[in-house]
Amino acid sequence: MTTRVRFAPSPTGYLHIGSARTALFNYLFARHAGLTDPDSKFLLRIEDTDLARSTEESTRSILDGLEWLGFAPDEEIVFQSDNAEKHRETARKLLTEGKAYRDFTPKEAPSDANIKDAIKERAREQGADKNMRDNPFRDLPRDESDARAAAGEPFAIRLRVAESGKTSFEDQVYGLQERDYSEIEDLVLLRSDGHPLYNLAVVCDDIEMAITHVIRGQDHLTNTHKQILIYEALGVTPPVFAHLPLIMAPNKGKLSKRKHGEVVSMTTYRDAGFLAEAFRNYLALLGWSAGEEQEIYSLDELVAKFSLSGIHRSNAIFNFSPDDPRKWTDDKAQWMNAEYIRTMPLDELLPHVKAELKAAKLWREEYEEDDRAWYERTVDLIRARFFTLKDFSSQGRAYFSEDYDFDSAAIEKNLSKFPDLRVWLPELAERFEAEFGDKPFNETNIELVVRAFTEEKGTKLGVIMNGARTLLTGVAVGPSMLSVFETLGLERSIIRLRSQLAWSQ
């Protein structure tokens, strides 16, 4: 059977890291299957049946995140709310067949504040003795039920779960899963206002979309048993299930928007200058392993190596320290991004740098034309110590603009301590002007001139070089000064060496 999987987020927030990984695993699974069956599909369904919480903005944000990661669905996006009528029909069908019943119990007013806690509390009170089949309307005679409904009395439709038995399925990650019917209540299929509920909607849509494998978070494990009951009532063979371990916060608690803010949002990483391929690579290793020591994988390699059997059963922690700006997000993710930036083929990096420079208004069309060679060489030179795309427009700004700031720590470290430099550096500019009238301004020649100059002044090479570094780049960090001089060129080097701007700060 042709593999068809879906990623089914509910649009109640942005695309967070856990959902992104679920999307990735679904995507990889579909593409892997696609290696032998080109008809395999990765689909997207927006589960927007909770009208109160779903927002268009959220849908937009999720789509943005998926687009950034490169997970385009193979068929049109399904909006679950569009299928509500079909869901209702299915519920009515089950009712007609006697597999579901009307529950006339008045709807409870939703307890406000903390719903989760309220539910937990109620469950605790009910204890282990709770009889899941004690609904007074479960065995209401058909004609009486029909009469009350006809009279306009509101009712919910609940699935009639058998008195005894158990559901079971072979989870591709967690193994055989069984649940006794006594643990499962007669779940509501249709709300008294006619609104289809999650479990019904999911099953109907998965059937309609011909989903063969459901790969989702482990928090759905209990839903799966309920859904299997619905599949059985419908006489449809359930798909294969694979539940994923969860991604937790550093304290092993839930990773949430409210508590952890932007670190969990995919768009944060896009906006922070992460490369999608790097983040994907990082995500793939969170809860999955190919069982080898390789860590850097191209998408093709991930597709080739991905399998459900490599997924772990234990939750993973997304490691970050909100108090430490250097570790605002997982350090392995940061390392991975830096690794990609400095080792990926330059041609692949260039468009990203272009986009970043454009956004920072530092891009010049010449970089695409006459100065292309210079641009490529410069990017290649400075990328070695960058962590994100943002660094090209911040730390790397002086390479692309005459308007850059001087880092106070750099001034302190490389200029203030050596007051002579205020005279020496402009002198070095004079020397450059004199020496490089006809001689090429390249590393070899520059080194000769600077070394001679240094000896004349009776100082150390580092003092001159780092003083110059501060003036020429505004920062204390960067490539070898010989390359910086050469890259910036004679003219710009001279102007910057003469500049007194940094000194007056």
Partner RNA sequence: GUCCGGUUCGUCUAGGGGUUAGGACACCGCCCUUUCACGGCGGCAACACGGGUUCAAAUCCCGUACCGGAUACCA
- Confirm if 432 and 449 have CB atoms less than 8 A apart: yes
Catalytic residue from among 86, 107, 120, 257: 257
Residue 196 DSSP symbol: B
How far is 4 from 17, CA to CA, in rounded Å? 23
Determine whether 86 is an active site residue: no
Question: Which residues are CB-contacts of 350 (< 8 A; sequence separation ≥ 6)?
Answer: 376, 379
By beta-carbon proximity to RNA, the closer residue of 363 and 496 is 496
Task: For residue 463, give the 3-state DSSP assignment.
Answer: helix
**Ranges assigned E (strand) in 186-252:** 188-190, 213-217, 240-244, 247-248
In angstroms, give the least distance from the CB of 409 to RNA. Answer: 10
Pairing state between β 247-248 and 316-317: parallel
The CA R_g of the chain, rounded to the nearest whole Å, is 31
By beta-carbon proximity to RNA, the closer residue of 129 and 143 is 129
* Residue 263, token pair as written in the block: 């670190």
Question: Which residues are CB-contacts of 380 (< 8 A; sequence separation ≥ 6)?
Answer: 346
To 10 degrees, what angle do helices 461-473 and 443-457 make?
120
Instruction: Name the maximum alpha-carbon separation found in the chain.
Output: 109
Q: In 3D, which of 19, 316, 307 has the Cα closest to residue 173? A: 307
How far is 16 from 268, CA to CA, in rounded Å? 10
In angstroms, give the least distance from the CB of 482 to RNA. Answer: 4
By beta-carbon proximity to RNA, the closer residue of 38 and 127 is 127
In angstroms, give the least distance from the CB of 185 to RNA. Answer: 5
How far is 459 from 365, CA to CA, in rounded Å? 42
Backbone dihedral angles phi then psi of residue 78, each to the nearest 5 degrees? -100, 130
* Residue 168, token pair as written in the block: 């079971």
In angstroms, give the least distance from the CB of 39 to RNA. Answer: 28
How far is 438 from 49, CA to CA, in rounded Å? 74
Type of residue at 137: F
By beta-carbon proximity to RNA, the closer residue of 9 and 73 is 9
By beta-carbon proximity to RNA, the closer residue of 2 and 343 is 343
Residue 205 DSSP symbol: H
How far is 245 from 296, CA to CA, in rounded Å? 22
How far is 24 from 9, CA to CA, in rounded Å? 13
Q: In 3D, which of 382, 358, 348, 325 has the Cα closest to residue 278? A: 348
By beta-carbon proximity to RNA, the closer residue of 285 and 349 is 285
- Confirm if 92 and 58 have CB atoms less than 8 A apart: no
By beta-carbon proximity to RNA, the closer residue of 124 and 258 is 124
Q: Which residue is it, tokens 């059977």?
A: 1
By beta-carbon proximity to RNA, the closer residue of 283 and 494 is 283
In angstroms, give the least distance from the CB of 98 to RNA. Answer: 20
Task: For residue 452, give the 3-state DSSP assignment.
Answer: helix
**Ranges assigned E (strand) in 164-221:** 166-171, 175-180, 188-190, 213-217
By beta-carbon proximity to RNA, the closer residue of 142 and 327 is 327
Half-sphere exposure of 5 (CA within 13 A, CB side): 26
The length of the chain, given as a count of residues: 505
Task: Tell me which residues are annotated as active site.
Answer: 257
